[in-house]
Structure 1
Amino acid sequence: MSRQIQLSPSLMTMDLDKFKKQITFLNDKVNFYHIDIMDGHFVPNITLSPWFIEQVRKISDVPMSAHLMVTDALFWVQQLIDIRCETICIPAEVINGMAFRLIDQIHDAGLKAGIVLNPETPVDALLPYIDRLDKVTIMTVDPGFAGQRFLKVCLDKITELRRLREKYGYKYEIEIDGSTNLKHWKLMSDANPDIYIIGRSGLFGLTDSIEDSWNQMVKEYEESTGYQFDDGLYVASH
């Protein structure tokens, strides 16, 4: 049976001295670019920004997906709406009392709304507004830094989200974020998310060349999962 997957490189983990070369190579191979925006409060780190998205757009037409790790969701959502970021993903932990308002605000702007579940947050937290979501991102590591320990227990959320989607006809896509690499490809593939976020350990840090790193990532995925890449975006079973 064939399977379709989507790939979203995490640009926080790319080599900034090779920024243009890496983006140019990936432009016709990936579905989205994943942009981590951290405010130093929700997590103890500060990373990318709406300005960074605008810079990437100078050399890419690939849709952007922003992953907010912030305490002031209202402020950052509006910033991303203003620059027309295609998908805006908000942590479930900070939006009680404003979830419906924020999702409507994103949709009213013609953009897609996603919610991110950190490892300790259950799928049940989404149930009041799950029917309105375009994407749910499952964190399989603690948020805030690259290279965190993989948390296998979080894969159960993907299974639960797929079950709910099939039962009720929800439209959200399921995304996995954290330690997407050779060590975990098989476990992740068995859980069957729609979108894989790939970072340093799964792509950018494999070799000194983005071309060689891409080819190695594809080989590791194929050998681990038993699926083969078709055109770099889709896979079909052996």
Structure 2
Amino acid sequence: MMKLAEQLHFLNGKADRLHVDVMDGHYVKNLALSASFVAQIRPYTPLPIDVHLMVEEPTPFIPALIEAGADAISLHPETICREAFRVINMLRQAGKEVGMVLNPATPVESIQHYLHLLDKVTVMTVDPGYAGQPFIPEMTAKIAQLHQLKESRSLNFLLEVDGSCNRNTYRELLGAGAQVLVMGSSGLFRPDMPLEQAWEKMSRDLSAALHSPEHV
């Protein structure tokens, strides 16, 4: 916990929010983190904690995550298709931000009826549940589709990308309309580099992508 606390102290002065993956070992094969982890890190950071809930049955997890101090919860539409509006209202009433996460094979149309109720839409550019997977280039069109929908309907959701966000993809993702990039093992948290050094490298790579002629 000491090393994690040190990393959080550094990120508190740099990051916009913290992304926490919660997996149940069923919706995806991996098992990772829980509401107790959110509760453990809450005292160490003033940043919004954004939970990506990769579980088969999300509703039993939500009260514990709210109690633990999560500020935003993002769900997969396949897991709440029979109670989407009820779950969205539950989170709204608790004062939490609501997001939906689209797997690579999940179409944008699956969330069209409540897109206007969302604070954030996340496009997975890799299949969920495993770190270090290669970027799926077909997802650029999905990001662009959501960006166009957002503009044409004057919607306010943030457009986020999760998966293989790194120097090789920044330019393409930002050019398609992405506003938030989830920084994982390929872009920031590297075993061969201290976090401070990795952050500086990431910042340089992002700045280069933002100021490239293609993006401008």
Q: Tell me which residue corresponds to 1:55.
A: 40
Q: Tell me which residue corresponds to 1:73.
A: 58
Q: Tell me which residue corresponds to 2:92.
A: 107
User: Where does 1:158-169 land on structure 2 (aligned, <5 Å)?
Assistant: 158-169=143-154
SS of equivalent residue, structure 1 residue 89: strand
Q: Quick check: 1:84–1:111 contact (8 Å CA) kept in 2?
A: no
Aligned structure 1 segments of 4 or more residues deviating by more than 4 angstroms? none
Q: Per the alignment, do residues 144 and 93 of structure 1 end up closer, same or farther by CA in structure 2, a change over 3 Å counting?
A: same
- How far residue 199 of structure 1 moved from its aligned partner, in angstroms, is 0.8
Q: Tell me which residue corresponds to 2:211.
A: 226
Once residues 84 and 46 of structure 2 are traced to their aligned partners in structure 1, the CA distance between those partners, rounded to angstroms, is 29
Q: Structure 1 length normalisation: TM-score?
A: 0.85
1:32 partner amino acid: R
2:118 counterpart of 1:130: no
Once residues 9 and 60 of structure 2 are traced to their aligned partners in structure 1, the CA distance between those partners, rounded to angstroms, is 31
- How far residue 183 of structure 1 moved from its aligned partner, in angstroms, is 1.6
Structure 2 gaps of 5+ residues are none
Please provide the CA RMSD for this pair. Answer: 1.7
- How far residue 223 of structure 1 moved from its aligned partner, in angstroms, is 2.7
2:147 partner amino acid: R
Q: Quick check: 1:142–1:149 contact (8 Å CA) kept in 2?
A: no
Q: What is the number of residues matched between the two proteins? A: 214
Residue identity (%)? 36
Higher relative contact order (Cα pairs below 8 Å, separated by 6+ residues): 1
Once residues 95 and 188 of structure 2 are traced to their aligned partners in structure 1, the CA distance between those partners, rounded to angstroms, is 32
Q: Quick check: 2:164–2:186 contact (8 Å CA) kept in 1?
A: yes
Once residues 154 and 171 of structure 2 are traced to their aligned partners in structure 1, the CA distance between those partners, rounded to angstroms, is 27
Once residues 191 and 64 of structure 2 are traced to their aligned partners in structure 1, the CA distance between those partners, rounded to angstroms, is 34
1:191 partner amino acid: A
Q: Structure 2 length normalisation: TM-score?
A: 0.93
2:184 counterpart of 1:191: no
Q: Tell me which residue corresponds to 1:8.
A: none
Once residues 158 and 17 of structure 1 are traced to their aligned partners in structure 2, the CA distance between those partners, rounded to angstroms, is 38
Once residues 162 and 66 of structure 1 are traced to their aligned partners in structure 2, the CA distance between those partners, rounded to angstroms, is 23
Once residues 207 and 26 of structure 1 are traced to their aligned partners in structure 2, the CA distance between those partners, rounded to angstroms, is 18
Q: Quick check: 1:69–1:90 contact (8 Å CA) kept in 2?
A: yes
1:120 partner amino acid: A
- How far residue 92 of structure 1 moved from its aligned partner, in angstroms, is 1.1
Q: Tell me which residue corresponds to 1:37.
A: 22
1:213 partner amino acid: A
Q: Tell me whether 208-217 or 115-124 shows the greater mean CA deviation.
A: 208-217
